[in-house]
Amino acid sequence: MSRNIAIIGATGVVGQEILSILEERQFPIKSLKLLASKRSAGKTISFKGKDYVVEELTHDSFEGVDIVLSCAGGSISKEYAPSAVKAGAIVIDNTSHFRMDPNVPLIVPEVNPQDAKKHKGIIANPNCTTIIMSIPLFPLYKAFGVERVSVCTYQAASGAGSVAMEELRDESVALGQGKTFERTVIPYQYAYNLFPHNAPYNDGTEAKAELNAPKGYCEEEWKMVAETRKIFGDAEIRVAPTCVRVPLLRAHSEAINIQFKKKTSVEEIYAVLAKAPGLLVFEDPANNRWPMPIDVNGKDPVFVGRVREDLSQENTFDIWVVGDQIRKGAALNAVQIAEML
Ligand SMILES: NC(=O)c1ccc[n+]([C@@H]2O[C@H](COP(=O)([O-])OP(=O)(O)OC[C@H]3O[C@@H](n4cnc5c(N)ncnc54)[C@H](OP(=O)(O)O)[C@@H]3O)[C@@H](O)[C@H]2O)c1
């Protein structure tokens, strides 16, 4: 059945990717409304060979809309999602605003599709690094049980939106030419550098007490802990993340160290990963070739490889995972949820 679709943030990185995935997967669309801020109102965006005029988002934007894909930031979803639900639409929200709301299912279709049925008008798309980790972790969790996970992420500029991508491009060129560069969104030199994540950090002071992260963590790291618990439906699962921003334009990588409950082996882990949905084992060990960000750009599956035993601890293994976070980490996951609806 064809649906009336609206995209909030249609001009942004995630919004643009949603459009290309809707087209690619031939999502049945009756009507399409492209919404953004006043800045972009009046611009035209081509979809399936037809030009659509971007409209300014207002509380009256949702009449007759069946599904709203919201990707303009948490404060925008907070303000406008209730109006969309009131108008009868179902909102699939890409922002962090509703993710931990107990009335809002947090869905990775390969992990907990059954939870989507419990929605009361809003379904949340998890954080991109959490989605990418969950795709290999969940089948292993089901097969062997997980004692503890330690994960380090290597996150690209596009995770911080289109302005961060532009800034990385421009700064790389400027520094390469020996010029200085004035940054606006990324707080530190980004080209030829990396740094613990640029998400808000809880230093334990009263000023940071409202942050959604315990002392010593940044919000991005705590999302990986709290959201994994909610998606897996396991409040006990132990996850220790370190999130790092690296000077890449697209795709996030993750080095994941997992201690299992049941005894297992490298061979058994590969066997589980080979059959898991949304995942591709991609490697050529003889040539020391493992998944790289450039391998996954524009691709749907999360790539995994380099399964090896951690010789420092019993029944513990390392895996290397790379995923296009604009796609599976955001836009594709949201469109898959829309397809489920
Ligand atoms: N990038 C990722 O990898 C990723 C992954 C998962 C989740 N997310 C989440 O998805 C959301 C969007 O991220 P993004 O990377 O696509 O950001 P972005 O490239 O900066 O795009 C932001 C979008 O929001 C629109 N917008 C901004 N202020 C608005 C307002 N007041 N009213 C209506 N629209 C407004 C912008 O429209 P204008 O053109 O008018 O400025 C633009 O379309 C964020 O919440 C982000 O955390 C991003």
Ordered domains of the chain (ranges, CATH) = 3-126+331-340 (3.40.50.720), 130-325 (3.30.360.10)
The answer to whether residue 309 scores a pLDDT higher than 90 is yes
d(CA 219, CA 313): 29
Residue pair 33/18 in contact by the 8 Å Cβ criterion: no
Q: Burial, 211: exposed, middle or buried (Cβ in 10 Å; 0-12, 13-18, 19+)?
A: middle
- Provide the token pair at 281: 């084992």
Exactly one of 128, 197, 218, 243 is catalytic; name it: 128
Q: What is the DSSP letter of 185?
A: S
pLDDT tens digits for range 185-212: 888 999 999 999 889 999 999 999 889 9
Please tell me the distance from the alpha carbon of residue 138 to that of residue 24, in angstroms, as a whole number.
27
- By most ligand atoms within 8 Å of CB, the mutation choice from 61, 94, 326 for ligand 1 is 94
Q: Is residue 323 lining ligand 1, measured as CB closer than 6 Å?
A: no
Give Cα 213 distance to the centre of its chain: 18
Contact present, 197 and 245 (Cβ < 8 Å) = yes
Measure the CA–CA gap between 38 and 53, rounded to whole angstroms.
12
> How confident is residue 53, by pLDDT bands cut at 50, 70 and 90?
very high
Q: How many residues does the chain have?
A: 341
Residue 198 has a pLDDT of 84
For the segment 238-243, the average pLDDT, to the nearest whole number, is 98
pLDDT above 90 (res 95): yes
Residue 147 pLDDT > 90:
yes
Q: Considering the chain, what is the average pLDDT of its residues?
A: 97
What percentage of the chain exceeds 90 in pLDDT? 95
Q: What is the mean pLDDT of residues 57-74?
A: 97
Rounded distance from Cα 132 to ligand 1 centre (Å): 20
pLDDT, residue 187, reads 87
User: pLDDT tens digit string along 213-227?
Assistant: 999 999 999 999 999
**Which token pair is 134?**
């969950």
Residue 185 pLDDT: 86
- The DSSP code sequence of 11-49 is TSHHHHHHHHHHHHTT--EEEEEEEE-TTTTT-EEEETT
The confidence band for 40, taking pLDDT boundaries of 50, 70 and 90, is: very high
Separation in Å, CA 262 to CA 15, 102, 144, 242, 256: 42, 31, 5, 26, 18
